[in-house]
Chains A and B, each alone.
Chain A
Amino acid sequence: MENAHIVGRFDRDLNKIKDRILEMGNLVISQINQATEVMQNTDAAKVDRLVATDRQINGMNKDIHRRAERLIALRQPMALDLRQALSPINIAAELERIGDHAKSTAKRSHKLAAPPKDQEAMQITCQMSGLVQTMLADILVAYTNSDIEMAAKVRARDLDVDRLNKAAFAAGLRGISQDPAKAETFVHLILLARNFERVGDHTVNIARHVHQIVTGEDLKASA
């Protein structure tokens, strides 16, 4: 915020929490990226690393929660400040859930005997991964800059994610009917696509939080 408080501690403490959110967000994006790599090329060691990093992400969520709780107890924020102090709790929880989906993607990918790279459902799922990673990166920027227009654009892009998810589902179903012996692979692909669809939804939730910080309006309630 441009207007600094007379008492600088609130801003300093809040900025530290914001830094943690960005750190956590970047780690989550990297997890999605690596999970997508595992989806395309089986790599057991990478899956193990992803699972370990997810524990680190869970710890970051708890740390952010603790810092926000302390900020509220010690600095008694009001109005915009209160929303700024509460939002890290919600945003970190969304990032933590996104982290879970990245982990789940990696573990499910590991079950695929051979990554069916040439399948349409796989190609669409990879496209979804790229899209949600960009959305996440953009929403972290929107959060940092309190940019609600950028947040609105991120929310709008989720329609593309949903559209791709439907396309992946249809492609998966076609695959099953054409080659029933590979039904299990196609079900995995459909569920992998759904993981990214869920990531998109959590990203939209973060975008709503950004909107609420700035305006005080709860988009979920008014939807």
Chain B
Amino acid sequence: MTKPFIAARAVNVFYGANQALFDIDLDIEANKVTALIGPSGCGKSTLLRSINRMNDLIAACRFDGSLQIGGQDVYAPAVDVVALRAQVGMVFQKPNPFPKSIYENVAYGLKIHRLATSKREMQDRVEWSLKSAGLWDEVADRLDEPGNSLSGGQQQRLCIARTIAVQPKVILMDEPCSALDPIATAVVEELIDSLRKDYTIVIVTHSMQQAARISQRTAFFHMGKLIEVGHTKDVFTNPQNEQTQNYITGRIG
């Protein structure tokens, strides 16, 4: 494995008295899609949300251990969480466009992070983001229409455009296709595959088939523990751990 871009070491996460993650050591490579899979409550979403400190929003949540992105400690006291989240974007399960126009949805992050110095630059970056998200051709003539006037699949690609507008290094995706039909899912999956050349992508998915289709590395979690991590082609054809085998073949979970 090449040098990891994201490195989790001895990560333990607690929600009050409940421990959600146990001693997780996980390396995530740059420019690859890493899928986190496992049954509900296995800790995969907790780990995902630890990467951009979304768990800070939960009062009773406590993080212990070390998590580095590009060599920078995410949990160091000096870290500006807002800046961190610009570097580590997130796409959620349900498409959640702001109640604004398509244009404003993408421009929003650029404005709050002051990433465009002129109106022209703003327009260029909105266009670039929508093109990168494979949405430009469908919305170019209706940028002023509300974001939520789009179809579910388009809304999710709008959210991806909004995320990549601020040019993060990492994109976290939490079940990004679970609200989409198979065709919209295929479009988003193809988009994810094309985005990985520029971004490091970590995706949580309940669909093992989706993990198999879109990721290069897969990590299987069970009851808060990392059971197995490896190349997706190996995990789905010849898993080394019996629990992984049982899960991917539908025998537990």
Contact = CB atoms under 8 A, between A and B. Distances in A.
Nearest to B248: A73
A85 to B, nearest CB: 13
A73 B249 CA distance: 11
A6 B212 contact: no
Given A6-B183, A7-B213, A9-B213, A73 B189 contact: no
Given A6-B183, A69-B237, A74 B213 contact: yes
Contacts of A215: none
Contacts of A8: 190, 193
B233 interface: yes
Interface in A1-22: 5-9
Interface string A2-44: 0001111100000000000000000000000000000000000
Contacts of B213: 7, 9, 74-76
Nearest to A5: B186
A8 B134 CA distance: 14
- Taking residues whose C-beta sits less than 8 angstroms from the other chain, chain A's interface range is 10 to 19
Provide the main secondary structure of the chain B interface.
Answer: helix
Interface string B172-193: 0000000000010011011001
B167 interface: no
- Taking residues whose C-beta sits less than 8 angstroms from the other chain, chain B's interface range is 10 to 19
A65 to B, nearest CB: 11
A8 B192 CA distance: 12
Contacts of A76: 209, 212-213
Given A73-B212, A74-B212, A76-B213, A9 B183 contact: no
B186 A7 contact: yes
A174 interface: no
Contact of A6 (B187, B209, B232): B187
Interface of A: 5-9, 69-70, 73-76
12 contacts: A6-B187, A6-B190, A7-B213, A8-B190, A8-B193, A9-B193, A70-B233, A73-B233, A74-B212, A74-B233, A74-B236, A75-B213
Interface of B: 183, 186-187, 189-190, 193, 209, 212-213, 232-233, 236-237
